[in-house]
Chain A
Amino acid sequence: AQSVTQLGSHVSVSEGALVLLRCNYSSSVPPYLFWYVQYPNQGLQLLLKYTSAATLVKGINGFEAEFKKSETSFHLTKPSAHMSDAAEYFCAVSASNTGNQFYFGTGTSLTVIP
């Protein structure tokens, strides 16, 4: 079975500071991992994905994530936070043996302080 745990339901950073959102996964087979962002009253938008190629994945809006198998982690980072980054972020896992079923974390709400 697959699952993800997002540590920290709320994260606050100052504008210009490093953003670090944590995600740990559990999977009995090699996982596929995704990060999504959700703005108020909108659906989820894909930020980036890991599907067994390079372990450092670059996404949109300056975000990137590193797949670390030994730590079962897929943390999301951005070097410098912008006000527009304030949103809800979701980590998700799927696998080759689950068809297309995605398992989402409970989300992390990011606040950017001016």
Chain B
Amino acid sequence: KAGVTQTPRYLIKTRGQQVTLSCSPISGHRSVSWYQQTPGQGLQFLFEYFSETQRNKGNFPGRFSGRQFSNSRSEMNVSTLELGDSALYLCASSAGTGNQPQHFGDGTRLSIL
């Protein structure tokens, strides 16, 4: 069974640009969650999508947005990039109930110059 796939693995952008990250969940998983990981702030929850609807949302500005498609694939978009957006962005998929573990991809390393 294929795991969670995130593309691209590495990305370099400049301030003010926008970026789109992609996540393909494990087959059959309907929930996709996104996290931002930085050395200073640790693992921070961005949002969760379940069956194409945003079900949970973390405390991030509106520049961070996401969506989920009918095949459960998800994209995350960050507009007007800031230096502080440099981070490892992790995607996790699961069956969608709290007693089921989340399975993580290897992340997208975003660097802002």
Contact = CB atoms under 8 A, between A and B. Distances in A.
A103 B31 CA distance: 16
| Interface residues of chain B: helix, strand, loop or mixed (majority) | strand
B56 A101 contact: yes
A100 B42 contact: no
A61 interface: no
Contact of B56 (A42, A52, A100, A107): A100
Interface residues of B, number: 28
Interface residues of A, number: 26
Contacts of A99: 48, 50, 55-56, 96-98
26 contacts: A34-B101, A41-B106, A41-B109, A42-B106, A43-B4, A43-B92, A43-B104, A44-B90, A44-B104, A45-B104, A46-B101, A46-B102, A51-B99, A90-B43, A95-B98, A98-B56, A99-B50, A99-B55, A100-B33, A100-B50, A100-B55, A100-B97, A100-B102, A101-B45, A101-B48, A103-B45
